[in-house]
Structure 1
């Protein structure tokens, strides 16, 4: 569905990205409009698929998930059956926060959040027992410098 986004829509989207839990009154005040038009625009943006589900951002380290690994995967298998098995393995492991299929020398990159190196090894052992991969390289993030889901509107 194609939707036109004007300046007020952009302001509303920016406000929602910064904190979607705020009241409709607060968002309307911030964007310089009244409540009803803002609600109608949010509804329109949801129906168009521009605005998705609302979730809460949790602090991984505060919950004991202190290790973040970026896992580079190369595979020599590209058949539909292997891909379905690999996709299922990724979906079945909550440790996998992101997964991307890449162009270039590396086939996939995963963002894996775990409590520690031992927990990563358990994840790794489980993954390679479920699906065959040619090469796996794990990179430990020493420091998260920037992390955002906000789009540059």
Structure 2
């Protein structure tokens, strides 16, 4: 792996691209795909993990198969911007398993949350738990009608 300041070399990028598509491939198959020896490929993966470039290798679960097929985008505005409030908000968001993404944003909305639930009633229960734990000025939700693109692949063209 090239140094952090130099960026990733083409072999690193090829490994990352293939692992993002399917991390269950054998090291032999992966090495063949990226034109490296088995040992060289394994060493590069270990270096990428140690450098924090690869955070984890996980299984992607089909949400509809585990009764969490409704995606909800929740927009939050708050009048409080203290460190204490922000910490309470982060702790609350991290404690609610239905919330699968949380982002502090610029503009009129302070936070956007992404949640996975079975239905609107389950979202309402999540909403009630959320507002019971943290004061907010406004909470608005949009229910996703169609997922046009949903990927975990990070674009590598900037590396």
TM-score relative to the length of structure 1: 0.97
Distance (whole Å) between structure 1 residues aligned to residue 154 and residue 114 of structure 2: 19
Cα deviation, residue 2, structure 1: 2.3
- The alignment status of 1:59 with 2:62, answered yes or no, reads yes
- Give structure 1 stretches of 5+ with no counterpart: none
Cα deviation, residue 138, structure 1: 0.2
User: 1:98-109 alignment to 2 at 5 Å?
Assistant: 98-109=101-112
The residue aligned with 1:73 is 76
The residue aligned with 2:4 is 2
Q: How many residues align?
A: 153
Distance (whole Å) between structure 2 residues aligned to residue 64 and residue 44 of structure 1: 38
- Give structure 2 stretches of 5+ with no counterpart: none
**Poorly superposed stretches of 4+, deviation over 4 Å:** none
Pairwise CA RMSD: 1.1
- The alignment status of 1:87 with 2:90, answered yes or no, reads yes
- What secondary structure does 2:89 align onto? helix
The residue aligned with 1:15 is 18
Candidates 128, 132, 140, aligned match of 2:143: 140
Cα deviation, residue 66, structure 1: 2.1
